[in-house]
Structure 1
């Protein structure tokens, strides 16, 4: 009998603590020996019949049924993610049952309800698109914009994984919305659920070989790991397959079963009926460009080029992940670590081998520990590498040396390298709404622009002719989309998850709370004498799952109660160091008590060009806590200047109204105007020409 992993293998192979007779630490004994072939190695079996890693061995009568989570059983009984979702979507109820709620995630949607409303739950659905590299065609953008108004809550949200989220879709409208996205060459398939999620890549449309290879590789990996059984099309477009042609190398890699990676004759050759133990995240980038938070992914892929700039292969990182559970120390965020190097023609086979290693060995009994980071943490990187090599069919080459990572926002105007321009636009928390939404549509529609979504919740307008630049700048400014120099530096790198009111996991506010938090941090900066152009990376989440990656921030706020947060410190501006939990259950209204002494001492005791993250790590939490405990306010001798900017009520009110349009305080806007005026004179320009 052959099954898709769900039964005996799930516990026998997957718990690294178990010592199983016949299991040699890599594969079932007698399963595989490697022989060199054209691509690397071939497989021969020492048994007379074919053994596969995906075959369920005959169980002894005394064998105990392996423990599996409820979701594993739902997947196994679902007929490849169809039942009972298809039936549930056809009835008149406003919601779907528990099994369907789990299955619809694979289709790219979550069932939600408005937690602000009292009484009966008002159910709706959030849809998340899948856009490898963040690429969105002109047609798809306009369709999503329309759907938000017709069937959503009138807003689009850009996510930290380069996708759209569409909130507030009613069950009765789901098929219309889903089929519209599909028929306009979009997809939500695999944007949620226990499978590979959206594959990240640098969003900049640069005509450089390394960037083009990174983006092409991301798209190929996304295609390789896309479900094949047709459940998505059966539910939303009555079985009609609306798919683009795949590159032949993707089809070849998916079908290759030289090393026992596939489920033979299965509608899902890589996933089987059980798919993966939990979500799986992959990012691809080029050396030095950390616009994708590369170390937070299950797999990080880095293009490696020769001295002439020709891409030769890829470095691979494995084992990153952000999710954790409050006060369960055995759950933790983790950075990916180097696995090795592969030549460019082998990248799809190597990625597939890593995914299959997690499929076969990741825990399926307790979803808190089902991410690949826990498997690697338990096994260690050496054992993990040796198991992956069995599925890959080769030894990994040594990891190639890389330059320092740098966060790149791609905001502002840039040359693409092909004669056109691109423009990166800052969008606070990724929420496109109101006048901004209307303006973006007008610009994108008028100039027929394609767009890209960044992993920092921003938007890039692509393929802009030079003659269009000035009118586009004017249109964007009128819609409140400002050039980066006019945006508070704190806002540029800040991120927040949606949290309340729609996310069922949220403990407290994030997206709705971060605008005020950033204003308060700016006010503390000014109070302690930090300059306006100074900034730190701030990320806020409403729960410990870490969707906005707060554990990589210099200041991470993680919801752990009503209006209460953990404070995490020690991340770096280039997102290469994991933060640590500094304080628990800090009430929102008391943030300044912790932040004011920290920022004051950073201003006065830092080394040259030392970031806030570097400073907190160098001093250590014990010293930081001592400063907070002894804090009695800023000494009068600190030299702080207090400026009375407004001489009359009318001026104050006018500036305050203008400031609200930019999500700032009146004081912040006034200081910006003064700084720009002074800077213009210092540069020899008149204020009117600047």
Structure 2
């Protein structure tokens, strides 16, 4: 184990990458954003502003489908911005969904993207409409503060209150933690909402302004993610988070949370020192302790995380560098209390529970499939129009799932038929019976045409690939089996491909690295199977495996477990083991 050297939050270390310099010179995330967005010459912004805008919830993108044609005409790329909202647990009112629909139509590309972290994303917003879009969000108490950037991101939680009585209480912690860990800088309000400059500043000893008591002047080395899961449901993939909280419930009472730290899925091609990692469980805390545990864990990463090499700056590398024993000692010293022994918890599935479910209050919740989170209208399915009409009826709340799907909650029995009628008129069935098990359990990141990191298609291609796999599934009697397939256009992990029973990670256009052996409970990473495969190879390889699986599986055996038992791939070594309290 390396000897920890505490960093000084207010000082830029020698050799730090430019992002640290940008943060240092930004005056707490202000920088030259106002001037950059007033520049009429270009649809782009400068490198410093490109980094700072992330803290405000936006990314610079360009339409990669148009790049070559625009280059030939000596035009700059077709720049636009993606805005990602901060919405703990993916919660929206009907009124807020109406505003999302309006923003997407007025300033976006007329679609709404549901992310794998329960957030709404708007794509295709041009530079000169970004402030208008943010003002429209503010009209219904929505924001994009910390939607991106080197701060705590959107806090996830199992969305469906019908699955467990205590879930509404647990749900509240997503908002509480998110609010507690928000940046305190007023830059967002000053720049986008025209609120008074300098509000919220306070003086400390020596007369300096204390603007960020949790983050300090340089914020975190990289992004930070927190998720809360309620066993037996692990629909948020709790172990992929920097902090994973596993709710412990007995007799409908929330006792507290098992705490897991150091998860993260990203890897960099060509860098063997980068790796996906599942979070390690370190102890149990009570509900009264959880805010302190989250804040102090985040500040340990602030003080000890790598700032010279951003490829190694995630918290998972800090945990591996210094060790779990050191981390736990440091956390307990900062908190002023010891974590209790872990409590027993058992997960059964990462899948969403589609269809209608009645909660303990007598109201109903409906979970609907949204293919890879893209809410839009097509000739076959007018989903965006259907959701708009349901919001106009004001008969439910909206919640996004971590699997890119939509939950309508708090529906009165008398309004169920109204919702079903709207859906069926627009081509969607409430129970998802028109979908195969694989399609219901698929995830894909955006990738082409807007993500600058994408090396291959994902969201635009995976539906086609599944259509080509479904005849094989049907031939082998597996059409309704919930085989989990996930695809990303690069190895950064936004579509959680390394957690899939089948994972496909883009290598180049039309080529993917193929991974197998993730489990159905979200407790095991998958394993590399074949590199740089094309569609024909994917179809041929899986057809053989599906046939073997149908003939030789044990009762209740999931596909990911089968390929390991048969020796097709070896299991990873970081499966999370559960045990009772000591």
Same fold (TM over 0.5): yes
Partner of 1:112: 61
- Asked if the contact 1:353/1:389 (under 8 Å) is kept, the reply is no
Q: Does 1:70 align with 2:18?
A: yes
Partner of 2:531: 584
Partners of 2:499 and 2:10 lie apart in 1 by: 40
Deviation at 1:353, TM superposition (A): 1.0
Deviation at 1:27, TM superposition (A): 6.3
Deviation at 1:497, TM superposition (A): 0.5
- Asked if the contact 1:421/1:463 (under 8 Å) is kept, the reply is yes
Partner of 1:83: 31
Partners of 2:336 and 2:30 lie apart in 1 by: 34
Partners of 1:207 and 1:575 lie apart in 2 by: 18
Task: Identify the match of residue 315 of structure 2 among 346, 368, 372.
Answer: 372
**Which structure is higher in RCO with an 8 Å CA cutoff and minimum separation 6?**
2
Q: Does 1:131 align with 2:87?
A: yes
State the Cα deviation string for residues 211-259 of structure 1 (Å, max 9, x = none): 1221111111100111111111011011259x9xxxxxxxxxxx9x9xx
Task: Identify the match of residue 269 of structure 1 among 203, 210, 213.
Answer: 213
- Asked if the contact 1:207/1:418 (under 8 Å) is kept, the reply is no
- Asked if the contact 2:95/2:391 (under 8 Å) is kept, the reply is no
Partner of 1:552: 499
SS at match of 1:607: coil
Task: Identify the match of residue 299 of structure 2 among 347, 356, 379.
Answer: 356
Partner of 1:685: none
Q: Does 1:412 align with 2:361?
A: no
Partner of 2:103: 147
- Asked if the contact 1:213/1:303 (under 8 Å) is kept, the reply is no
- Asked if the contact 1:26/1:386 (under 8 Å) is kept, the reply is no
Partner of 2:576: none
Deviation at 1:55, TM superposition (A): 7.1
Deviation at 1:419, TM superposition (A): 2.4
- Asked if the contact 1:490/1:535 (under 8 Å) is kept, the reply is yes
Q: Does 1:233 align with 2:189?
A: yes
Partner of 2:579: none
Partner of 2:159: 203
Deviation at 1:124, TM superposition (A): 0.5
Deviation at 1:364, TM superposition (A): 0.5
State the Cα deviation string for residues 580-636 of structure 1 (Å, max 9, x = none): 111110012332232222222222222222111001112224699xxxxxxxxxxxx
Deviation at 1:26, TM superposition (A): 7.9
Partner of 2:520: 573
Partners of 2:88 and 2:192 lie apart in 1 by: 21
Corresponding residue pairs, total = 553
Distance 1:335 1:439, change over 3 A: same
Partner of 1:512: 460
Partner of 1:604: 551
Counterpart mapping for 1:649-688 below 5 A: none
Deviation at 1:207, TM superposition (A): 9.1
Distance 1:383 1:521, change over 3 A: same
Partner of 1:97: 46
Task: Identify the match of residue 478 of structure 1 among 419, 425, 429.
Answer: 425
SS at match of 1:287: coil
Deviation at 1:326, TM superposition (A): 1.8
Deviation at 1:523, TM superposition (A): 1.8
Question: Which range moves more in the overlay, 610-619 or 232-241?
Answer: 232-241
SS at match of 2:288: helix
Deviation at 1:208, TM superposition (A): 5.2
Q: Does 1:280 align with 2:224?
A: yes
Partner of 2:119: 163
Partners of 2:407 and 2:569 lie apart in 1 by: 43
Partner of 1:446: 393
Deviation at 1:310, TM superposition (A): 2.3
Q: Does 1:185 align with 2:141?
A: yes
- Asked if the contact 2:456/2:508 (under 8 Å) is kept, the reply is yes
Distance 1:188 1:623, change over 3 A: closer
- Asked if the contact 1:26/1:390 (under 8 Å) is kept, the reply is no
Deviation at 1:137, TM superposition (A): 1.4
Task: Identify the match of residue 563 of structure 1 among 507, 510, 514.
Answer: 510
Partners of 1:160 and 1:184 lie apart in 2 by: 23
Partners of 2:108 and 2:473 lie apart in 1 by: 38
Task: Identify the match of residue 525 of structure 1 among 468, 473, 478.
Answer: 473
Q: What do you get for the CA RMSD once the two structures are aligned?
A: 2.3
- Asked if the contact 1:126/1:166 (under 8 Å) is kept, the reply is yes
Partners of 1:596 and 1:208 lie apart in 2 by: 38
Partners of 1:518 and 1:114 lie apart in 2 by: 25
Partner of 2:574: none
State the Cα deviation string for residues 162-221 of structure 1 (Å, max 9, x = none): 011100001111111011102210011111111000000111134955212211111111
Structure 1, unpaired ranges of 5+: 1-15, 20-24, 29-52, 57-63, 244-254, 258-262, 625-690
Task: Identify the match of residue 344 of structure 1 among 267, 270, 287.
Answer: 287
> Which runs of structure 1 show a deviation greater than 3 angstroms over 4 or more consecutive aligned residues?
25-28, 53-56, 205-209, 621-624
**TM-score (normalizing by structure 1):** 0.77
- Asked if the contact 1:342/1:396 (under 8 Å) is kept, the reply is yes
Question: Which range moves more in the overlay, 288-297 or 593-602?
Answer: 593-602
Partners of 1:358 and 1:534 lie apart in 2 by: 41
State the Cα deviation string for residues 314-351 of structure 1 (Å, max 9, x = none): 21011111111123221111111101111221111111
Partners of 1:238 and 1:334 lie apart in 2 by: 42
Distance 1:472 1:196, change over 3 A: same
Partners of 2:125 and 2:210 lie apart in 1 by: 33
Partners of 2:110 and 2:26 lie apart in 1 by: 34
- Asked if the contact 1:196/1:225 (under 8 Å) is kept, the reply is yes
Deviation at 1:65, TM superposition (A): 5.8
- Asked if the contact 2:54/2:148 (under 8 Å) is kept, the reply is yes
Partners of 1:623 and 1:614 lie apart in 2 by: 10
**TM-score (normalizing by structure 2):** 0.91
- Asked if the contact 1:206/1:212 (under 8 Å) is kept, the reply is no
Partner of 1:688: none
Deviation at 1:67, TM superposition (A): 1.8
Q: Does 1:433 align with 2:368?
A: no
Partners of 1:571 and 1:428 lie apart in 2 by: 21
Deviation at 1:407, TM superposition (A): 2.5
Structure 2, unpaired ranges of 5+: 572-582
- Asked if the contact 1:405/1:576 (under 8 Å) is kept, the reply is no
